[in-house]
Structure 1
Amino acid sequence: MEEDLLKQLTLWHNKNQHAKIISKIMDIPEIDRDYDLVCLLARALNNQENYNEAIQYFLSVQEQGEHDPLWHFRIGYAYYYLEQYKEAIVAFEQSVALDPEDSHGRTFLERSRNAAARAGNEIIHIVNDEKGMRIGTDPRFLEVEEKINPFGLVAHHNGSISMILGVGKYKHEIFQTRAEEGFEGNGYDWGSLAAVFLEEKMPHLVDIIRFDPEADTFCIYTDNKEAMFSFAIAFKEACEDDTLIRDLFSRAVLD
């Protein structure tokens, strides 16, 4: 792939202009699209919620992606949002195996396992032997998840719990109010907004809630499930209060 083309596609991705990425790559003859271009096309289709089409492109370069953790993560992402959780689990397991440091791969793996268990009406046993914690068996887990949709909760085997959001559409108009300053509505921008909310509305949790965002995912985590439940519900309620969330966002600092 040409360096200038990659720079342009990256710029569009960072600005959530995924339709432009799709159009640009589709204009390139199929025979001239290398592995990286096909993967970027499929990623853009994921971000446009065209998951079935994205999967077809990912599968067209499956052999080349066998040892690429990003290929496994991205196809797993598509399977997850199609609610094909078994396929998502396989993909995320391979992604984590190839890149053990990928926290987002682990997060989506646990979330896929939780979703698969719920779909099968199974009890989720996620146990931390040291603390005797069983997050998955706590009925409040599902109750809170329902209240905070489209945010999600992920219970980890080490006893921690994460709150995540695949960014892109939810409340995107809020971030557009400061687009000229560089805000795009990505995971880092959501982290900046959440940090203001945490400091001003729930300062008692400042030393308990931790941030781990990426460009396409907002993620916070803690070992204290009650703190997470409390924060998650309050933050979602704030997001639904347009006047409040815009006021909080006015003091967010660009990361």
Structure 2
Amino acid sequence: MEPLKLIETNPGKYSLLLDAGTTSVDGLVEELGHEPGGYFWEGVAQLLVSTQAPGLEGRFSYDPEASMFCAYGQDRLALEQLATLMAAVANDADRMRELIELADAEGFEFDD
């Protein structure tokens, strides 16, 4: 799950967090023309859900900031699954490159 963190903010309420600018792929993201901030990572999450895990759609909400990605909700399992998907690209330059290429091919625009 690294570099993401899943915390229980209140009983039965969870937040999945990623401090923007702390991943091993940040340099690659910038090289490919994007700013690896919280809004970019929201786009990563949305693209991963839509292409790899459509069953997660609608099971949590997003609330990013420039310096932090945040997804939240009551469905801990859904957030854990999102964390697994995101960690795979946050820790692997080849996977991140493939995801950005997929976004370009499909006309998906990151909000960065």
CA distance in 1, matches of 2:90, 2:19: 15
Q: How does 1:195-234 map to 2 (within 5 A)?
A: 195-234=46-85
Given that 2:7 and 2:14 are in contact with CA atoms closer than 8 Å, whether structure 1 keeps it comes out as yes
SS in 2 for 1:156: strand
Unmatched tracts of structure 1, length 5 or more: 1-147
Given that 2:20 and 2:69 are in contact with CA atoms closer than 8 Å, whether structure 1 keeps it comes out as yes
CA distance in 2, matches of 1:169, 1:239: 9
Is 2:12 aligned against 1:156? no
- The amino acid of 1:174's aligned partner reads L
CA distance in 1, matches of 2:95, 2:13: 29
- The amino acid of 2:110's aligned partner reads L
Given that 1:199 and 1:206 are in contact with CA atoms closer than 8 Å, whether structure 2 keeps it comes out as yes
Matched residues, number: 105
Tell me the equivalent position of 2:29: 175
Give 1:191 deviation, angstroms: 0.9
Greater fraction of residues in helix:
1
CA distance in 2, matches of 1:236, 1:193: 11
SS in 1 for 2:85: helix
- Alignment root-mean-square deviation, CA: 1.7
CA distance in 2, matches of 1:178, 1:241: 15
Give 1:217 deviation, angstroms: 0.6
Is 2:36 aligned against 1:185? yes
Give 1:158 deviation, angstroms: 4.7
Q: Identity over aligned residues, as a percent? A: 25
Aligned match of 1:253 in 106, 109, 112?
Answer: 109
TM (norm. structure 1) is 0.38
CA distance in 1, matches of 2:109, 2:9: 30
Unmatched tracts of structure 2, length 5 or more: none
Give 1:242 deviation, angstroms: 2.6
TM (norm. structure 2) is 0.81
CA distance in 1, matches of 2:80, 2:66: 24
Greater fraction of residues in strand:
2
CA distance in 2, matches of 1:249, 1:192: 10
- The amino acid of 1:187's aligned partner reads G
CA distance in 2, matches of 1:241, 1:156: 29
Given that 1:188 and 1:214 are in contact with CA atoms closer than 8 Å, whether structure 2 keeps it comes out as yes
Given that 2:63 and 2:69 are in contact with CA atoms closer than 8 Å, whether structure 1 keeps it comes out as yes
CA distance in 2, matches of 1:241, 1:254: 19
Return the structure number with greater relative CO, CA threshold 8 A, min gap 6: 2
